[in-house]
Amino acid sequence: MIATGAYVPLSNEERLKIEAGIEHHRIEAARLIRRLNASTLVMCLPDELLVEIFTLCIPLRHDNIYGPSWNHAPHYGWLRLTHVCHHWREVALHMSALWTNIEVTNPEFVTSFLERSENAVPLHVHFFGTDMHGEELQAGCWMPILRASSRVHSLLIKLGDSLLTFPPIYESGRELLLTGMRELNLDYTVTSQPTLPCFISPHLPHLHTLRSHMLPYQVIKPLLAPSLKSLLLDQLRMPDSTMLRPFFEALGQLTRLERLVFIDSFFPLPADWRQLPLFADTGAVLPSLRHLHLVSHTFDVDVALVLRNLCFPGDVSVQISQTGISPFCAFQEDEAHYLFSALESRLSGSSSGALASPSPVLTLALRSNHGPGGTNTFNLNGWSSVIPLDPAIYENDPDGTMFATLPSLSFSIRWFSTSMPADPASMKKLSLVSALQQVQAFAIDTYGDHWHGPDPVSPESLQAGLASLCKVETAFARGCGVRPLLTALRVPWGPHKQFLFPSLKTLHIFGYQFVHLWSFGDDFTNEEDSMNEEDFEIDLVKHTLVERAQGGLRLDKLVISRCKGMGREELNELSELVRELIWDDVGVADPPEVLQRPRRADSDSDSD
């Protein structure tokens, strides 16, 4: 047993003395910790630099054609900054910009972010669906957000297959509304009839960006404000065709609209484009439009409907994407001719002279996107483009800024072993649109196996179809498009023996393997084939440069990027044929790693 004495309670003086000693030790421990952290270089930074560093931790939002790139809640990993030390926490808590991206999850989260954001503008609010009932949302989350309505500039609501509703929210008998929004993103996938949240005001005088997914026209109609500059409608629903006319009439009121995107919209529509309605001779005039993107995954009549009922100035970047893999989704020849004609008429103004003579179309790109088993002759089957050009082609320009101001033409052909190459008559249809005669950059990107079978597009097709593009100064080639383009550039054609692209100054070749034109193996024999310098694709480049130079069309620049099968000796030879040669080290090999030419049979006998 442990002997214990009588319990003597501590006096107040003794208790205060002990507490003071504890506080002294706590302060000393904190001082030691601070001294230890202060010894690191990062702790020597002034608060102003820490603020700049912390700002880099804010999650960035990169928009794509479909709107904000995130499909789930933003990442808040930077919150760990507040857990490093007291000093960092104090700096972070006083950085209002760190707390302006608010996800509506629970009341404590929303309240904390609003308090720490202080009076920072703008606030970005995100709601990704929740299991909370409307009453809980009203009481804890949306009420404090609506109190800061003037600071909320963007709202993203993403709802799945849910019947969640947003009831009205009142304070002191007054309904709270979001009236100062600049950007609104509504991503609904509900199967029932969706409705707008009651706190979104029908009058948004500052709204400049609206994106909607699977919402009917009746729902978004109040949001088509005259202040809109960017409008994306993904799977816009129409109860019937009688709503088409009111829609285009409302669209014609958006005189400030600069960017317009339609994705699989206006259903139901007639299957035959000839039955599409035409609501006015001039169409809905959009004088400020600069970017038009039409995307169709399943049908093509929605693309024709827009071209038939819109009128826009010529200095607009037009993207028309037909991405269905079914052969039934491809534009037929007469439809392609109609769409080209409709596009040209809209670029040239209406018959009544509603628009002045336009500038050339900035960007128009074509892509055939058939799947296996589909025919692949280039009858303008399908369209596609990415402004300024296809980023898959220009991997050294991920931001797409190099040629953003160049009028350009790009197309891509998917080729399979069962497909036939494109014929010249089909390619000639490219010359139907006079606006294409102004393009200054051309790109070709084809998919297939360049070791076997015919080229997906013949040099003759390129020469015939692109004859009117006399102002092209920059050409890009990738994949199976390299060899046809080089051949088309090399050989003069036509009755006047003219070179293709007489204004060409710069040639880019990407992601290509320069190999022997045959697929040879160990059993290679030289029976009746005459081996010459042209049997190697690297020699085709040389001869193209030489013959164009002899014709007075010497290139200023040749860019070779991510290509294989050439050595530095070949690069040195090419550098003598152009004013400037640019290449990277990807795939460039020194002998003997570079693919060597097979020796002739007689050379073997001589060596013996």
Is residue 393 pLDDT above 60, yes or no? no
* More confident call, 470 vs 517: 470
Per-residue pLDDT at 208: 95
String of DSSP letters for 377-413: --S-------SSS-TTT-TT-TT--TTTTS-EEEEEE
Residue 183 tokens, joined: 């950007």
Query: How many residues does the structure list for the chain?
Result: 608
The average pLDDT across 105-118 equals: 86
Is residue 437 pLDDT above 90, yes or no? no
The average pLDDT across 516-525 equals: 38
Per-residue pLDDT at 162: 59
Amino acid letter, residue 596: Q
Average predicted confidence (pLDDT) for the chain: 69
171-219 pLDDT tens trace: 877 888 888 899 999 988 766 678 888 889 888 999 999 999 888 898 8
Residue 43 tokens, joined: 């702790």
* More confident call, 253 vs 430: 253
Per-residue pLDDT at 4: 61
Percent of the chain with pLDDT over 90: 12
* Separation between Cα atoms, residue 222 and residue 226, nearest integer Å: 11
* Separation between Cα atoms, residue 68 and residue 604, nearest integer Å: 64
The alpha helices in 252-329, defined as continuous H runs, are 301-309
The average pLDDT across 268-292 equals: 74
Per-residue pLDDT at 203: 86
Q: Which residue, 455, 504, 499, is CA-closest to 479?
A: 455
Is residue 268 pLDDT above 80, yes or no? no
- 505 pLDDT band, cuts 50/70/90, is very high
Minimum mean pLDDT range among 24-38, 226-240, 314-328, 482-496? 314-328
- 467 pLDDT band, cuts 50/70/90, is confident
524-542 pLDDT tens trace: 334 344 334 444 567 889 9
pTM flag (> 0.85): no
Per-residue pLDDT at 181: 92
64-77 pLDDT tens trace: 555 554 444 556 66
> In a 3-state reduction of DSSP, which class is residue 159?
strand
The average pLDDT across 348-366 equals: 39
* Separation between Cα atoms, residue 355 and residue 336, nearest integer Å: 24
* More confident call, 54 vs 229: 229
Is residue 349 pLDDT above 60, yes or no? no
- Phi, psi (5° rounding) for residue 393? -80, -40
Strand-strand pairing, 123-127 and 152-159:
parallel
363-391 pLDDT tens trace: 444 433 333 333 232 322 222 322 222 33
Per-residue pLDDT at 221: 92
Amino acid letter, residue 138: Q
Per-residue pLDDT at 220: 92
